[in-house]
Structure 1
Amino acid sequence: MTNQSDVLDPGTWSIRRSVVVQYDEFPTPQLAQRQSATGLDGFTVGWVSAAPQKPAVLGWSTATSTVEQTETGRPYESTWETYDGDAGSTDFQKDDLKAFRDAGGHVAFSFGGEAGRLPEAEETDIAEVTAAYQRVIDNYRCTHIDFSNAWTLQLQGTSDGTTTPWDRHVAAVRRLLSANPGLQVSYTVPAFLDASGSYDGLHGYAQALLAQVAGGGYVPSLINIDLGDLRMDKSPLSTTLPSDLAQACMTILTGAQGDIAKLWPGWSQAQVWRRMGAMVGFGTQGSQDLPGAVFTPDDLRGLAAKVPGIGCLSGIKSYADAEKPGDGAAEQNLEFYKVIAAHQP
């Protein structure tokens, strides 16, 4: 157990409004354009993950080289540009990031993604893991980083007999925080409803990871609750959804608040809420083949009114819409962006 006086705490998450975008999809999202159109001042860009057979190299699309497509003046008119996919050295999207930041925008970089791997899953040298992340932080001048699937590390990797992937992760993050004063760290973790529509808890692996983080010598600036799956029955063919999606999100968030409070018992209720994020899925819930209810901008407005003290309100293309690249509600309807931009916590 780390001595409390040695615990690193860079403070609460300072990006209070955000939309999560896949920065290497077609067409490549242009943050500066979307900021101009909606007033949104925060984005989370993903996903950066370990390259195949090269766990200590972090890249866009898990590639060491890639061809990217960038938007021009109209939403879906594109030009081809080729960039090195190594996120520790590439110039990919730096012009867009500069324009967005110059206009007052703030960016978090997300590691992992739904299927991406993190270096500590396979790389057992903590110094190498730390260096892989540090190269990306230096290259993109990162001030905020998110781990979107660190809770799956125990499934991705194995123990080397001395350390587990979570051991290596927690050790590397503590080193990063020590070496980069002011760097803020977020964890995106899933939580669910049960068949009756009541809170069913954080995913077991997510809760176990957060417990290890709580004893790891640092404090996450944000614990971002993934509300992208609001089904009440998790069988593969289920589309059973609550009738009030905003209230369903609130049910999950309230339950997660209790779980997090147990891990950091010194925090007040308000402090827990300030360290929490709510990330909704824009558009169709369920799956593309078996669509359920549609989470609308009005649902998002309803949720925003219920969470004035939340650390960050954010959203992402729903899982069903994400199966249709470049064609999801988050991309087609900037009204979601405008609702989040208007949120004043």
Structure 2
Amino acid sequence: MNSSAPPAGGPVFTGLGVLSAFGAGLAPLAEATAAGTGTGFAEVTRFDTARRGTRRAALLAGPPPPLADAVLGAVADACTQAELTDGAPLLLALHSDQHTRGTAAKVAAGAAALGLAGVARVYTGACVAAATAVADAAALVGSGRHPRVVVAAGHLVEPGVFAAFDAGRALARDGVLRPFSAGRGGTLLGDAAAAVVVEAADAAAGRGARPLARLAGWGRSGDAYHVCRPRPDGSGVARAVRSALARAGVAPAEVGYVNANGTGSPMSDLAEARALREVFGDALAELPVSSSKSVHGHALEASALLELAVTIGALGSGRLPVNAGWLGPDPEVELNLVLPGPRPGARPRYALSLNSAFGGANTALLVGAA
């Protein structure tokens, strides 16, 4: 675990672009996740699901654009918001399949047309891919190698991945994603493309850019427990969280919200709850926790960036994402979940965005209010 503190000021986010089942931009996504009055899930009509046990996902309205176009749209929006004019490198997270090379090449060409320095790296590390890219961007910025780095990710639900998850019984048979709830039965997939500009605080200040939030700390760990099952005690997730807190010099008591990985899987949700108990102890009873996946779906390699966007939005507005799909408490979980209905406003200084992947990889991004 690397506990060295970041340079004074640390990295900041100066631009954000996102596309989800709720449309383009952070505003409709943030409103949907905070309101808790509806989710993005609907019957899949993009391809045939007649032979599948689950037929629901959170999809874009209408025919989807090519994945490269969706990603480049998010990149363009992030760069416009950041008023980016120089050739920052691009780190790109994509699902690994026969289309990855071609999609990455199209994104690289489009990024060059936007004035970026092209795609420097492509990350295919499953559901922590985008968070790993954000951590690497922060390291590149913090070391002084680049004043700013753009991170982008995209995943559009397609029949092959849908069939694989369905065959593996990873998808919720009742068509509802219920993180940490009694009766939870699996995840549901979702479309997403997202991009952020990660910038050195002094570089942003020097050009008058207004930060959306700060990347206070980041942590990564590996369980090496099982190819697709989480380590039951959640110790790998706990190590990633502790690493992020130590890097930032932030005490657990200072964290005011956790956007958990929360896939709706009986085993992984329980392991994550145990990890949070290990890190936060008795304070966990008062710490608001939810999984925004319950509203926008699981976007695989793009999940971490989509959920980071939601977390940034929550810090800015004080409206915490709802943990949708709730049926009732699981006595083994014992989390202070953000449930639909009236609740006090919140203005957390720090929020954690957590992700885990097959193979035992875990990431924690600690976001600080601007």
Q: TM-score, normalised by structure 1?
A: 0.32
Higher relative contact order (CA 8 A, sep 6+): 2
Q: TM-score, normalised by structure 2?
A: 0.31
